Chain A
Amino acid sequence: MDARRPIIECRDICKTYLNGDVATPVLKNVTFTIDAGEFVAIMGPSGSGKSTLMHILGALDSPTSGTYRLDGRDVSTLTDDELADVRREKIGFVFQSFNLLPRATVLRNAILPLIYAETDPERRETLAEHALNAAGMPRDRWDHLSNQLSGGQMQRVAIARALINSPSIVLADEPTGNLDTKTGEVVLGTFQELNEREHHTIVLITHERYVAEHADRIIHIQDGVIVEDSRNSRRRIVNHTAA
């Protein structure tokens, strides 16, 4: 695979929220590039603008100014429905609170994005099998209802759901925030594995340095500007076999 193909290109991204007449700048001229196959952590304290950045990267929101190219396509000026198409085809989300459908099976949760992609029902099974295996979800749990699972298992289902479309990037927003340290470690190991074995591009948003240190590059954001963007020299590697 192309080692240096840029998948995310952000140039002078600004986001300003208008509250009445008061303009609050949240992102100020943010510029960076993420290549395909990278595992990047975007780290910053709360209020730093990392959530806003994640929303823009996830095509949930548009920047006030600047350009954002995702996989070569400028997505900073698209309409709501066009953004929905981009999300469906290019982005897989993993949220802090899992956001699974309760009272629905693991399998149904995993294939949920496919109903909007109108994938053939026969193909859904194959894709779900691959995604659930990649996320490390044991097969005997696939028929369980999502609200009967443990937190770690729920997040695995959410990861499988994010992977099912073979997205260009997987965006994980505080994926370990609702998990205990040990389970969180296992989930981070899963991301490392996906990055190494399946070459998924992973963007991890977190406020914890410990979590960010599982990535191989850390973008540190504070008060809406990038204060540091460097290779992670002290990378924490989770023992995959232990997971």
Chain B
Amino acid sequence: MTINDLFNETYASLTANKARSGLTMLGIVIGIGSVIAMISVGQGAQGSIEARINSLGSNLLLVEPGAARGAGTFVSSGRGSATTLTLEDSDAIAQNVAQVSEVAPEASRRFQVTATGTNTNTEVVGTVPSYQDVRNVQVDEGSFITDAQVQSGSRVAVLGPTARDDLFGEGAESVGDTIRINNTEFTVIGVTVAKGGTGFGSQDDMIYVPLTTAQRYLTGGDSVTTISVQAANQQAMTQVQQDVTALLLDRHRIGDPTQADFSVLNQEDIVATATSVTGTFTLLLGAIAGISLLVGGIGIMNMMLTTVTERTREIGLRKAIGAKKDDITMQFLAESVALTVIGGVIGIALGWLGASLISSVGGITTSVSGSSVILAFGVSAAIGVAFGYYPARRASALNPIEALRYE
């Protein structure tokens, strides 16, 4: 049997009972469509989380006091209260570790901040000018903290856009105004550009002040809460991480690395953790949708078994006029694969449409990747083979004499 004949026979059989073929195909359409849509939600979430982590800065290492609880966890036990890291540690990293482009120490804590008649609770970050480069902070109005202001301990503040909105109203002019942090007056000298993202860890709900000022008026002591280290390039990150760890262990006179009173987090680790979380989420969504795909596949098998029984005499005739076992197997397999492949293509289109609907109506970021489309297509073809094989073998195994007699 040539491919052309196989195609014609398949077309003729499927169009002979259009309603049944269509309904069976619908099972696959829904299955593939929901897989595409669900995975797009998962991948969209993954993409937006990665983008947010990367907006922290590039090639970034974060040195924080207190031991990390586990690999990649970025909440450490002593954060904020532990006082194991100092400005001298930061300077030592800048001077002694090779392939470091910038180092930015910070002393931050949440404070109640008031302006005229308003108040908000926000993160106050005492830092130095290099923070702007390391953490990718851009200034929208006014200017960022200068070295001179850090030297003199000026009481100036740069507001994040969310903090500005909370204190002065949305988009209000605030440069030159005064705010009070912990009962100390600060003059607003700038507002940063919005980075996007809301809720926990927003980069926009922050107030930046000079590090020395923060230590003197707000956090007290000379400890820092985080040292952000920017490696010269991505390849150097692991080396820099090792060097920073060795240097600080030495400075803190700790022999056993497991007893370290600080932790060095690699930005890539943070991304990896977040990715593994969203990956699990994607997998879960995909698995739920996969169940409907499985049900669709069983629908195909059911229909094919019915068809084989109905067409017993036809199978007998085909065998009598010279069809071999393989010809019969191929014919029925081609029918089920045609159903799942056509259903798969329609399902991919509908899933894509569904994903864009979820984005536009639900406001959830979705992303349909080429790999998920190819995967869905492959899976639908594989379902055709897997669920069509048994009915096809049953058809080809029919005894022609009994098949011809079948009533």
Contacts and interface: CB of A to CB of B under 8 A. Distances in A.
A89 B2 contact: no
Interface in A82-106: 84-85, 87-89, 93, 95, 97, 99, 101-104
A99 B404 contact: yes
A116 B1 contact: yes
A61 B322 contact: no
Contact of A95 (B1, B319, B404): B404
Contacts of A161: 321
B321 A93 contact: yes
B69 interface: no
Q: Which of A58, A101, A118: most chain B CB closer than 10 A?
A: A101
B320 interface: yes
B320 A58 contact: yes
Contacts of B318: 112, 116
B256 interface: no
State the main secondary structure of chain A at its contact with B.
Answer: helix
A118 B2 contact: yes
Interface in B373-407: 400-401, 404
Interface string B290-310: 000000000000000000000
Contact of B322 (A85, A97, A121): A85
A103 B320 contact: no
B314 interface: yes
A81 B401 contact: no
Interface stretch (B34-42, B264-272, B323-331): B323-331
Contacts of A60: 319-320, 400-401
Interface in A45-83: 55, 58, 60-61, 80-81
Interface residues of A, number: 29
B91 interface: no
Contact of B321 (A61, A80, A88): A88
B324 to A, nearest CB: 5
Interface string B5-22: 100010010001000000
A113 interface: yes
B246 to A, nearest CB: 74
B326 to A, nearest CB: 8
B327 A80 contact: no
A84 B399 CA distance: 12
Interface string B250-268: 0000000000000000000
Nearest to B321: A113
B320 A80 contact: no
Given A93-B320, A93-B321, A99-B313, A115 B400 contact: no
B401 A61 contact: yes
Given A95-B404, A99-B313, A101-B314, A84 B2 contact: no
A61 B403 CA distance: 13
B16 A81 contact: no
Contacts of B314: 99, 101
A81 B5 contact: no
Contact of A87 (B5, B321, B401): B321
A117 interface: yes
B317 interface: yes
A115 B320 contact: no
Contact of A104 (B12, B320, B325): B12
B322 A81 contact: no
Nearest to B4: A121
Contacts of A115: 1-2, 5, 9
B323 A84 contact: yes
Interface residues of B, number: 24
Nearest to A161: B321
A108 B2 CA distance: 16
A108 B314 CA distance: 14
A116 B327 contact: yes
B321 A112 contact: yes
A125 to B, nearest CB: 15
Contacts of A97: 313
A87 B320 contact: yes
Contacts of B16: 102-103
A116 B321 contact: yes
A111 to B, nearest CB: 10
B32 to A, nearest CB: 29
Contacts of B2: 115, 118
A112 B331 CA distance: 14
A113 B318 CA distance: 8
B208 to A, nearest CB: 78
B401 A117 contact: no
A161 B314 CA distance: 14
A58 B319 CA distance: 11
Nearest to B17: A103
Contact of A55 (B317, B324, B401): B401
29 contacts: A55-B401, A60-B400, A81-B324, A84-B322, A84-B323, A84-B324, A85-B324, A87-B321, A87-B322, A88-B321, A88-B322, A89-B322, A99-B313, A99-B314, A99-B320, A99-B404, A101-B317, A102-B16, A103-B16, A104-B12, A108-B12, A112-B318, A112-B321, A113-B322, A116-B321, A116-B323, A117-B322, A161-B321, A165-B322
Interface of B: 1-2, 4-5, 9, 12, 16, 313-314, 316-327, 400-401, 404
The 7 closest A-B pairs by CB, nearest first: A88-B322, A115-B5, A113-B321, A99-B317, A116-B322, A84-B324, A87-B322
Interface of A: 55, 58, 60-61, 80-81, 84-85, 87-89, 93, 95, 97, 99, 101-104, 108, 112-113, 115-118, 121, 161, 165
